[in-house]
Amino acid sequence: MEFRLSFGIIHPDESLSLADLLKDKVALVTGSGRGIGRSIAMAMAGEGAKVALTGRDTGRLEKVLEEIKQAGGQSAFWRMDVSSEIEVSDAIEKITEHWGQIDILVNNAGIIHADKPVWETSISEWDEEMATNLRGMFLCCHYVVPQMVARQNGVVINIGSSSGTIPEDMSGAYGATKWGVLGYTTSLAKSVRPHGVRVNGLNPGWVDTDMTKGQIPDGAGPEWTKPEDIARAALFLTAHAPADMTGQFINLFGANDHSGHAPGLL
């Protein structure tokens, strides 16, 4: 029997056969209730992975869970605020008990206080972004990577941003966290390379998600990508990337646009 699934990673008028690139693998995707995280979770479920959905909004997670199950995939969700060490350690322990191990970790959860220069950023806003975007990634790696090292196998994907490569005059705190993501990712990759664990990242530019809702101008350039495009890149890093590809970031924004803005914006 052939299952014809629609996991939202291709055009609406097409469908996706349940494949097995990630069969028997367990993937943990943070911030998977919407946007990029949801699309990555759907894509990995479409390739046969057992997907652990995590985030702060259990209502959103439940909706994604139902989408995956209705399409024939395997999934479960756990509430997890990545800024809380207790919640991270507890959720990862439960996921490991539930499925035995975690083979793929996608650190996607992130927040932004937009349109505010770094010198006007409040201390509470700075701390909140650092706790979620940078410390949250570290905490998840801290509790997942040792089991990958013990098995001598695993894949970590950290979601960076074009803001981690292009200096930001606005949203400076967000940019600072993403520069940190790049630094941590490359350091982690080097340290676990001898143990068979690959660590890479994705740098999206402007992506059509809730975070950028209402900001997409008419005639926006190709860097206004869809979350599904990011999911394709995540699948590449998980299932298709060369075995020795680690410590690398794939830039998913206009290579010739150094302004940090979509074409037509100043």
Distances (CA, A) of 136 to 83, 107, 148, 162, 194: 5, 8, 18, 19, 25
Mean pLDDT score across all residues of the chain: 85
- When pLDDT is cut at 50, 70 and 90, the band that residue 144 belongs to is very high
Instruction: State the Cα–Cα distance between residues 244 and 66, nearest whole angstrom.
Output: 36
Instruction: State the Cα–Cα distance between residues 232 and 39, nearest whole angstrom.
Output: 9
Express each pLDDT in 92-133 by its tens digit: 999 999 999 999 999 999 998 877 888 899 999 999 999 999
Q: What pLDDT is recorded for position 216?
A: 55
- Would you name the residues annotated as active-site residues? 174
H-type alpha helices, the chain:
35-46, 58-70, 85-99, 123-129, 136-151, 172-192, 227-235
Tokens of 224: 């206004």
Instruction: State the Cα–Cα distance between residues 79 and 87, nearest whole angstrom.
Output: 8
In the block, residue with structure tokens 């701390």:
127
Neighbour order of strands in the sheet with 154-159: 74-79, 50-55, 26-29, 104-107, 154-159, 197-204, 249-252
Tokens of 132: 């979620």
Domain ranges of the chain: 22-252
Instruction: For residue 168, count other CB atoms closer than 10 A to its CB.
Output: 19
Residue type, 250: I
- When pLDDT is cut at 50, 70 and 90, the band that residue 213 belongs to is low
Q: What pLDDT is recorded for position 221?
A: 54
Express each pLDDT in 12-67 by its tens digit: 333 444 568 999 999 999 999 999 999 999 999 999 999 999 999 999 999 999 99
CATH code of 22-252, in short, is 3.40.50.720
